[in-house]
């Protein structure tokens, strides 16, 4: 009974106006101090533990998700106040469609309600100039929810300072598959303008090099500048890509101009980056997952690179606030400063 009494006293004291004022002042001071150091440009949150939080507190699962959304609002304000430009959250996985129908329907309706609230009371996003982007398989979202999603995106499209990426419904493997498919389509359906195929001298050299029968006087053949250009161009063109040429782009018979497609060997990681859902976002600096589970669970697999710092926290997502994010940001800043100290002697030696 004494523990319950002390708990009630503590809650009463923390909810009193003087205590709330003091805590808010402390929060503002801490956030202001953090913003003086290095600031991550992109932070991702895997919001895990809503259901377990609900079970541990003996409340409905949907109520646990409601509290999770309130935690998201707190975290967004902290991130934007600190100067983070892009926040990406994992709101709904494609795998969640395998959950009981009542829970899936509840999550969809929750998303609809919260997005509608975002539209009606968008002060937080407007205050920090944050636009909403919904990433994932939008074709799987129910029509009534999709309509609200589109309105939320449109309502914040004028904001250009920060970005809130909501992955819903999403998996990283599906994102990468879509990016690769789009890249293949681009490389197989977009001809290079004003390209010529193989020059006659190039074809002759290729054939003779295979036969090992090089006629006299071939070494004395001097190429014109246009032929030299053709050689360079031919080296960057894959012969296989010409199999999918669009007849509308081909010239009439007897003309040297035909549709030539980009060489697939020129595809780089940056090429794939341009076709990801997160295209245009800065590299991922911090990845946070709550609930004590230590795996990525098909979230931001491509975006996690050699400089991404991954933090697995034991708290459930509805509990997440400044006091949990503070150690994460402080440790990241410490690592950044340490990295700068290590790189400084290298730059001096190179100079």
Domain residue extents for the chain: 37-174+278-337, 202-260
> pLDDT class for 266, splitting at 50, 70, 90?
confident
The pLDDT assigned to 345 comes to 76
Asked if the model's pLDDT at residue 201 lies above 60, the reply is: no
Average pLDDT over residues 257-275: 82
- Reference 330, options 30, 94, 111, 14; nearest CA is 30
The pLDDT assigned to 265 comes to 84
> pLDDT class for 20, splitting at 50, 70, 90?
confident
User: Is the link from the previous residue into 304 a cis peptide, with omega within 30 of 0?
Assistant: no
Average pLDDT over residues 197-218: 57
Cβ atoms 200, 223 nearer than 8 A = no
| Backbone phi and psi for residue 74, each to the nearest 5 degrees, phi listed first | -65, -45
Question: What is the assigned CATH class of domain 37-174+278-337?
Answer: alpha beta
Cβ atoms 246, 191 nearer than 8 A = yes
């Amino acid at each position: 009974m004494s523990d319950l009494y002390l708990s009630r006293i503590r809650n009463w004291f923390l909810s009193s106006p003087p205590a709330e004022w003091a805590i808010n002042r402390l929060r503002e001071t801490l956030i202001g101090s953090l913003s003086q150091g290095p600031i991550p440009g992109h932070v991702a949150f895997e919001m895990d533990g809503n259901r377990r939080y609900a079970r541990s507190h003996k409340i409905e699962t949907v109520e646990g998700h409601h509290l999770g959304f309130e935690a998201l609002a707190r975290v967004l304000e902290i991130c934007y106040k600190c100067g983070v430009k892009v926040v990406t959250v994992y709101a709904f996985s494609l795998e969640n469609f395998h959950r009981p129908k009542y829970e899936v329907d509840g999550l969809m309706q929750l998303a609809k309600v919260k997005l509608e609230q975002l539209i009606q009371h968008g002060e937080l996003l407007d205050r920090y100039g944050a636009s909403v982007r919904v990433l994932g398989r939008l074709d799987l979202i129910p029509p009534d929810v999709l309509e609200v999603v589109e309105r939320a995106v449109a309502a914040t499209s004028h904001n250009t300072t920060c970005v809130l990426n909501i992955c819903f419904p999403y998996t990283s493997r599906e994102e990468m598959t879509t990016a690769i498919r789009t890249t293949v389509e681009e490389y197989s359906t977009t001809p290079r303008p004003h390209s010529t195929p193989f020059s006659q001298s190039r074809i002759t050299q290729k054939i003779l090099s295979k036969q090992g029968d090089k006629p006299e006087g071939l070494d004395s053949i001097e190429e014109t500048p246009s032929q030299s250009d053709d050689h360079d161009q031919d080296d960057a063109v894959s012969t296989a890509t010409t199999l999918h040429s669009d007849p509308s782009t081909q010239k009439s018979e007897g003309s040297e101009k035909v549709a030539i497609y980009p060489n697939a060997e020129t595809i780089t990681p940056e090429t794939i980056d341009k076709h990801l859902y997160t295209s245009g976002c800065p590299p991922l600096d911090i990845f946070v997952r709550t609930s004590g589970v230590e795996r990525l669970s098909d979230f931001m697999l491509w975006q996690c690179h050699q400089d991404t710092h991954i933090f697995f926290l034991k708290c459930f997502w509805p509990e997440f606030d400044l006091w949990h994010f503070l150690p994460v940001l402080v440790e990241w800043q410490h690592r950044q400063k340490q990295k700068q100290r290590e790189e400084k002697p290298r730059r001096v030696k190179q100079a």
